[in-house]
Structure 1
Amino acid sequence: MSGNGAARGYGVSSAGERIGFDELAAAIESKLIAAGASPATARVLASNCAACERDGTLSHGVFRVAGYLDSLERGWANGSAEATVDVVSSSFVRIDGDNGFAQPALAAAGAEIDQALADTGVAVIALANTHHFSALWPELESFARDGRVAMAMIASGKLAVVPEGATRPVFSTNPFAFATPVAGGDPVVFDFSTSSMSHGDLQLLRAEGREVPIGTGVDSTGADTRDPETILDGGGIRPFGGHKGAMLSFMIETLAAGLTGGAFTFEIDAEAPEGVHTFRTGQLYIVIDPERGGNEAYLARVRGFIDMLRDAGMDRLPGDRRYANRAEAAEAGIPVTDTIRALLD
């Protein structure tokens, strides 16, 4: 899963050391600024990474900082980018991210997005020429806490996914995310790759010397393998659900690349310098005011729907683990993993 795949506990120090959110974010911000990010960009990215770490999404937390630093230090990504926002119509906003990072570019269009929602109840946001290197759920949770329904998708950049019948990777992990507000509770937010496992989680498992289930990916000959190293080095990840996951990837590529004007994954991968971690790509966001048109009961109806699911035995819904980890971190601090210790040292 893109946003919630890495379980709390990977690499946690045996000493049980903890760190506060603000301290961790400040440490990340300092590293990013030293690598060439503007203070504004560094602040947004640091908060994002620290939030993922706090909520237990370790594959998209401090683990990602090295990739940001690499792209900044190489000059591959623009650390002081200034996004250009073009209001195409009352509901359609295009953003050119100036080869910077996606989260600051999306934030730069906040006023235009709010205006589209006020005018029509819908904002379609086509974001291009940016590097997205994190989970999608932080942005979507923010929309949902403002009472909006939101979804997002990315042509994420690295050719990694081999569907049945293909002889080489043809898709990225193509993350997709959805969020809805809920009356009297936290938003329900899910965020997953259309591959059987996210690229970040696969890298974590490789580093730990762990195997993956058969069906996760193939080696360079197309044979199933349990070895993450073999999948990452010349092989490929399978889509989840066979042809269904593959066609979701097709949909995401056409919307997040074709509709936004960004590059398709095969184009992104071809232009990227050898060994980079971030990719210049496209994202599509759709944000909806669910109460437009006399639908004021929406949040309460979703509450009732969730209550029914829990009553039927679905005692864990998307976001539950993140919120539990967040509450624990607020009380006791964020567990210091080996990755955090290396950052601090």
Structure 2
Amino acid sequence: MSGNGAAKGAEEPRGAERITFEDLVAAIESKLTAAGAAPATARVLATNCASCERDGTLSHGVFRVAGYLDSLERGWADGTAEASVEVAGASFVRIDGRNGFAQPALAAAGPQIEQALADTGVAVVALRNTHHFSALWPELESFARDGRVAMGMIASGKLAVVPEGATCPVFSTNPFGFATPVAEADPVVFDFSTSSMSHGDLQLLRTEGEEAPVGTGVDSAGVASTDPNDILDGGGIRPFGGHKGAMLSFMIETLAAGLTGGAFTFEIDAEAPEGAHTFRTGQLYIVIDPERGGNEAYPARVQGFVDMLRGAGMERLPGDRRYANRAEAAERGIPVTDTIRALFD
């Protein structure tokens, strides 16, 4: 780390302010391998965490490393698992992660996904028995940079969301993401939970001693609260948009759990050991070649659509802030937080 500009190496004085992406990946990777992750798995997870940190998604960056380490050290997740990939149809790829992590399992199916896209223009990718503990956007952005339209969703594992009428949490935060290529520009990528706030962001607010926005959640008695402690400890988060967000969660549960063969959130939550950070979930990805069938104009048409939106006053679109943070990190390094500094203790 370095106190004035990007890091030059692995040394890290206490007053350091910036660290290079490569050094951050290496620091996370070292922690993961020491906890029992296979080198290839540690590399994928470390790159994912560092990418989120670099792009300013702090709730899914280095903040998540402690949870990975806990699951590895207690044997709840298998850091040496090798995913089993089955081609279930011309466009359908099933992956059994064998209690490993989702990102390495998805990477293991890369050749089969590419073959499905080459043959039919579509790949439906159903993951089960995998621990997903990060944002969806890194994988979706990767597909979009290869010219594909992609969407993904997760039955994310911890009962946390209380819709109107329910007396206890019945959904997880059920993340959903989408990415599309845009001609002569970075992909447009969004990734959001169907809850009013992500579980990770709520934990960060609690750590920082700050209140949540009005409408975020309820306490254990079902009374609206802005105290993250009330919401996280016996209460629950509200879905965004009332019944609309709740039904999006229903859709995600049925697709990411029912269709994939994975566990529904209420089943995952019941099997997880006390204090677990990661959960053995199901995920569904749908990847499409948008230029299939002579639609080569697709990226340019999306570019025109984006230009119209920006011209109408939507100056900031999904992904813009991440790309700006990424560019700054490439030039100056990633800001060092106490969480990053702890990697070197």
* TM-score range relative to shorter protein: over 0.9
CA deviations 1:90-145 (Å, max 9, x no partner) are: 10000000100000000000000000000000000000000000000000000000
Equivalent residue, structure 2, for 1:214: 214
In structure 1, the partner of 2:27 is 27
Which runs of 4 or more aligned residues in structure 1 lie more than 3 Å from their structure 2 counterparts after TM superposition?
A: none
Correspondence for 1:156: 156
After TM superposition, give the deviation of residue 294 of structure 1 in Å.
1.0
Letter of the 1:291 counterpart: E
Q: Which residue is equivalent to 2:195?
A: 195
Give the equivalent residue in structure 2 for 1:133. Answer: 133
% same residue: 86
Q: Which amino acid aligns with 2:62?
A: V
Counterpart of 1:144 in structure 2 is: 144
Secondary structure of 1:234's partner? coil
1:105 is matched with 105
Amino acid at match of 2:158: K
Query: Could you say which residue in structure 1 is the equivalent of 2:331?
Result: 331
Distance 1:120 1:322 in 2: 32
Tell me how far apart the structure 2 counterparts of residues 108 and 117 of structure 1 sit (CA, whole Å): 16
SS at match of 2:343: helix
- Tell me the distance in 2 between the aligned counterparts of 1:197 and 1:337: 22
Q: Does 1:310 align with 2:310?
A: yes
Cα deviations by residue, 1:239-265 (Å, 9 ceiling, x for unpaired): 000000000000000000000000000
2:37 matched residue in structure 1: 37
The alignment partner of 1:344 has SS state of coil
SS at match of 1:308: helix
Matching residue's letter, 1:250: F
Is there any run of 5+ residues in structure 2 with no aligned partner, and where?
1-13
Q: Distance in 2 between matches of 1:55 and 1:214?
A: 27
| 2:129 counterpart SS class | strand
Q: Partner of 1:284 in structure 2?
A: 284
Partner of 1:48: 48
Under a length normalisation based on structure 2, what TM-score does the superposition of the two structures give?
0.96
Report SS of the residue matched to 1:256: helix
Deviation at 1:16? 6.7
Distance 1:88 1:213 in 2: 45
SS in structure 2 at match of 1:304: helix
Structure 2: which amino acid aligns with 1:69?
L
Within a 5 Å distance, the mapping from 1:6-17 to structure 2 comes to 17=17
Pairs aligned (count): 333
Whole-Å Cα distance in 2 between the matches of residues 240 and 222 of structure 1? 16
Taking the aligned partners of 1:212 and 1:77, their CA distance within structure 2 comes to 31
User: What CA distance in whole angstroms lies between the structure 2 residues aligned with 1:229 and 1:178?
Assistant: 31
- Mapped partners of 2:31, 2:280: distance in 1: 22
Q: Distance in 1 between matches of 2:101 and 2:158?
A: 16
Q: Which amino acid aligns with 1:66?
A: A
Structure 2 counterpart SS, 1:267: helix
Matched residue, 2:9: none
Q: CA RMSD in A?
A: 1.1
- Which residue of 2 is the match for residue 8 of structure 1? none
Aligned to 1:320: 320
Aligned amino acid, residue 179 of structure 1: A
Cα separation, 1, equivalents of 2:97 and 2:164? 35
Cα distance between partner residues in 1 of 2:214 and 2:138: 31
Q: Which residue of 2 aligns with 1:176?
A: 176
Partner of 1:3: none
The answer to whether residue 232 in structure 2 is matched with residue 232 in structure 1 is: yes
Question: Residue type matched to 1:84 in 2?
Answer: S
Question: How far has the Cα of 1:305 moved from its partner?
Answer: 0.1
| TM-score normalized by the length of structure 1 | 0.96
Q: Which runs of 5+ in 1 are unaligned?
A: 1-13
Q: Distance in 1 between matches of 2:224 and 2:215?
A: 6
Tell me the distance in 1 between the aligned counterparts of 2:20 and 2:344.
13
Inter-partner Cα distance in structure 1 for 2:36 and 2:51: 22
CA distance in 2, matches of 1:274, 1:16: 36
Q: What code does the residue aligned with 2:55 have?
A: D
CA distance in 1 between partners of 2:80 and 2:213 (Å) = 42
Secondary structure of the 1:250 match is helix
Cα displacement string for residues 260-279 of structure 1 (whole angstroms, at most 9, x for unaligned residues): 00000000000000001000
Q: CA deviation at 1:344?
A: 1.7
2:255 and 2:226 mapped to 1: Cα distance? Answer: 32
Structure 1 counterpart of 2:57, which letter?
T
* SS class of match (2:143): helix
Which amino acid in the other structure matches residue 161 of structure 1?
Answer: V
How far did 1:214 drift?
1.5
Deviation for aligned residue 1:45: 0.2
Structure 2: how far apart are the matches of 1:339 and 1:217? Answer: 27
CA distance in 2, matches of 1:290, 1:146: 11
